[in-house]
Amino acid sequence: MTSKITYIETMIVDIPTIRPHKLSMTSMAVQSMVIVRIKDDQGFEGVGEGTTIGGLAYGPESPESIKMNIDTYLAPLLIGQSLDSIKSLIQRMSLTVRGNMIAKSALQTALLDLQGKHLGVPVSTLLGGAIHQHIPCLWVLASGNTDKDIAEAKALIASGRHCEFKLKIGSRHVNEDVAHVASIKAALGEGVSVRVDVNQAWDEATATKGMAALQAAGVDLVEQPTPAKEWDALARLSQKFTIPILADEGVSDAVDIFQLAQRGFNGGIALKIAKSGGPIEALYAATVSSSSGMGLYGGTLLEGSIGTAVAIHAWSTLPKLHWGSEMFGPLLLQDDIIKQPLNYHSNGVVVPQSSGLGVEIDEEKLRLYRRK
């Protein structure tokens, strides 16, 4: 008997972070997530998540717009439809609604969770099958205070939870940012990988100065130093330095990656399910990246456990994540809305093995943090 979608519910959940998280464009102390629940006529339910950073500070979708556009435009396209082919449902949404990639990713996540529960298999199986059961995961140092960041990193290294670190910079003068990073790198030593994320804050001239200093300081990677669509500048910078560049906001999907490759970019690509429109499209982007000789990195929009879980399932199907991942979002939150937290240990996170996403909603916590 074919299962049909009967009900779609959305809600915004607000959970405080363990500390302020400072980026070049905003500082956040609360993460707001749109949770999606899809039910079918056989009593199964799938859950999804759509999350961005700092309201509209990071991109064109906000928690409020994600919820409204799912409720008003996307959910009506799915209700009453068969669950037999998720790709046909994805196409139905794509042909009718432009953009809104985070909203579409949330729905795709819930659809995959629902289908995985029907079939009794994890989402990774639906995406081709897991190659890895443990995904390496770095930690982002984003307090903005050098001494605090050093102490935080050393504690995490000692606990065995993380051994690679990314620093958020770009909100201060380039000389201050470089001095901050260089001090942390020197304190942590040669055996610890330190990367930076500029979040588009520099122009090409500033990036040239900053990257030269970061390269001299022993930094391993520079993420998105220049504005998103300045592909030519990103390509020139990648050819000028031996320190690799990671493209993030500049590439949303496989088409963007192809355009960047045509310009001679020789760095890496930050994959994100949210900016691609879902894990299926993110894996398309991974194929184009790998075919162009670009290394892969599993990126995040600081999703909670639901959004993180689906990304982990997707990344587990890739032969190699050259730069690891940053799927630490749940660890940045003071609390969780799932019953059993994801399993972080040995500098990474375990890929869930049970059916669907492998997570279960904690209804009491959901009521506590749900926006009224």
Distance of alpha carbon 286 from alpha carbon 268, whole angstroms: 11
We report the CATH number of the domain holding residue 41 as: 3.30.390.10
Catalytic residues: 168, 326
Residue 237 lies in a domain: yes
The pLDDT value given to residue 58 = 81
216-240 residue pLDDT tens:
999 999 999 999 989 999 999 999 9
Residues 59 and 44 reside in one and the same domain: yes
Residues 116 and 130 reside in one and the same domain: no
**DSSP letter for each residue of 213-251:** HHHHHT--EEE--S-TT-HHHHHHHHHH-SS-EEE-TT-
Q: Which residues of the chain have pLDDT under 70?
A: 1, 24-25
Residues 89 and 228 reside in one and the same domain: no
Residue 357 lies in a domain: no
Cα–Cα distance list, 225 to 26, 113, 146, 205 (Å): 16, 35, 21, 11
The pLDDT value given to residue 123 = 98
Residue 20 lies in a domain: yes
The pLDDT value given to residue 1 = 52
Residues 169 and 84 reside in one and the same domain: no
We report the CATH number of the domain holding residue 341 as: 3.20.20.120
Residue 355 lies in a domain: no
Question: What percentage of the chain carries pLDDT values higher than 70?
Answer: 99
Residues 262 and 153 reside in one and the same domain: yes
Residues 236 and 100 reside in one and the same domain: no
Residues 60 and 190 reside in one and the same domain: no
Of 351, 352, 362, 300, nearest in space to 328 by CA: 300
In the chain, the number of structural domains is: 2
The pLDDT value given to residue 213 = 97
Of 129, 118, 124, 128, nearest in space to 46 by CA: 118
What is the pTM (predicted TM-score) of this model?
0.94
Compute φ and ψ for 55, nearest 5 degrees.
65, -115
Range of the domain at 152: 126-350
Hey, how many other C-beta atoms are within 10 angstroms of the C-beta on 306?
Answer: 28
Place of tokens 């979040």: 199
For the chain, the straight-line distance linking the first and the last C-alpha, in angstroms and rounded, comes to 38
